[in-house]
Amino acid sequence: MKALIDKLHQYNNLSGGEMLDLLENLDEDIRKYLISKAHETRVKHYGKKVFMRGLIEFTNYCRRNCKYCGLRVSNKKVQRYRLSFEQIIATCEQGYRLGYRTFVIQGGEDEFYNDDNIISIVKKIKTKFPTCAVTLSLGEKSYESYKKYYDAGAERYLLRHETASEELYDSLHPGMSFRERVQCLYNLKEIGYQVGAGFMVGLPNQTNRDYVQDLQFLQELQPHMVGIGPFIPHKDTPLAKETRGTLDKTITLLAIIRMLLPEVLLPATTALGTIDPFGREMGLKAGANVVMPNLSPVEVRDKYALYDDKVCTGEEAAECRECIDNRIMQAGFETDMSRGDSIQWERR
Ligand code: 5AD
Ligand code: SF4
Ligand code: FES
């Protein structure tokens, strides 16, 4: 197994068979070795920097019905909210004062906002804060819509592929299709965005073979960012009684992704921080190099409940910033408040 990890570390590549072999045969020592090699890779490309993104969850309305997600349209227990244009801009202002230079505008697939609304939000942020990057995360849209947002100034887009196993994808997403998801990701790349894909770990019936498909999908797509986190059940969804994804598996996959895509921007996600008090720190030590503290107004925080027990929901933006800063330092890393563009994208 060590030889496989060395190969992965040196060539940033493994065949599907080798990936499966690795995933099936990890004992504690091998895992430690894998994590140390991932850390080496991260230090080589990014040093000990951790990039900070200010996350603004601006609407929890969603027309989709993903079986795992607390915001699914069938969940009538959610108190829905939308931030107004002014609230969004005020939240960015506060984030700017705290030092953030990337804003992630994330929401459910909410048809209340048309393309012109999104464009005015993007334009306003870009004119008010010309040194900041705008990342959108609004789900599936047409090529034309993505292009318009890009032309308005948005430079990054997050759209997790959720799982690259087509059968599993289609079973979890009523009325959606994996092929359309993939098409969206390729459209975003073609337009010129820095693109973030990603998947959940520990979904019901997900196997190592499925993770191999995820890894191969990432190798093919070559995204600039990859968001992965454990699946965590939400009490008011059809998957309420399922078991959550594990810390170990998520960390293992982060480490492998760091070596497969050595320059990728890889967040230590909130979901990882939710299943273990030191989950994000462990992620950082296994190759993750981004954190996305929540800037949304505290009154709406707990309403953006994708899963149960989400961390940071009670904290003010400034408190969350301080908390995460300390955690990053304690773990032996340095916060980097710059825009933190993908190295690969800067070289284009
Ligand atoms: N557990 C973990 N992650 C989830 N997401 C949605 N619901 C859950 C859940 N129950 C993730 C999806 C989505 C991202 C915003 O949150 O991957 O893309
Ligand atoms: Fe909507 Fe995203 Fe939740 Fe699916 S995962 S129901 S698209 S918010
Ligand atoms: Fe958000 Fe600690 S990181 S409160």
94-109 pLDDT, tens digit per residue, is 999 999 999 999 999 9
Least distant ligand from the CA of 308:
1
Among left, alpha and beta (phi > 0; psi -120 to 50; other), residue 269 is beta
pLDDT at residue 343, as a whole number: 86
For residue 271 and ligand 1, the question of a CB distance below 6 A is answered with: yes
Identify residue 77 by its one-letter amino acid code.
Answer: K
pLDDT band, very low/low/confident/very high, at 236 (cuts 50, 70, 90): very high
Ligand 2 probe mutation, 71, 231, 308, most atoms within 8 A of CB: 71
For residue 52 and ligand 1, the question of a CB distance below 6 A is answered with: no
Dihedral (CA of 156, 157, 162, 165) sign = negative
pLDDT at residue 129, as a whole number: 98
For residues 307-314, give the mean pLDDT: 93
For residue 69 and ligand 1, the question of a CB distance below 6 A is answered with: yes
Residues with CB under 6 A from ligand 3: 293, 312, 315, 320, 323-324
Question: CB atoms < 10 A from the CB of 123, how many?
Answer: 16
pLDDT at residue 347, as a whole number: 80
> Mean pLDDT lowest for which of 24-38, 46-60, 239-253, 314-328?
314-328
144-194 pLDDT, tens digit per residue, is 999 999 999 999 999 999 999 999 999 999 999 999 999 999 999 999 999
The percentage of residues in the chain with a pLDDT greater than 90, rounded to a whole number, is 96
What domains can be seen in the chain, in order of their start residue?
2-347 (3.20.20.70)
Minimum-distance ligand 2 atom for the alpha carbon of 72? 6
Average pLDDT of the chain is: 97
How many Å apart are CA 231 and CA 160, to the nearest integer?
A: 13
The percentage of residues in the chain with a pLDDT greater than 70, rounded to a whole number, is 100
> Mean pLDDT lowest for which of 192-201, 205-214, 296-305, 312-321?
312-321
pLDDT at residue 345, as a whole number: 84
Q: How far is CA 296 from CA 88, 105, 273, in A?
A: 8, 10, 18
C-alpha 68 to ligand 1 mean position (Å) = 7
pLDDT band, very low/low/confident/very high, at 287 (cuts 50, 70, 90): very high
C-alpha 12 to ligand 2 mean position (Å) = 32
For residue 307 and ligand 1, the question of a CB distance below 6 A is answered with: yes
pLDDT at residue 85, as a whole number: 98
Using only C-alpha atoms, the chain has a radius of gyration, in whole angstroms, of: 19
pLDDT at 304 over 90: yes
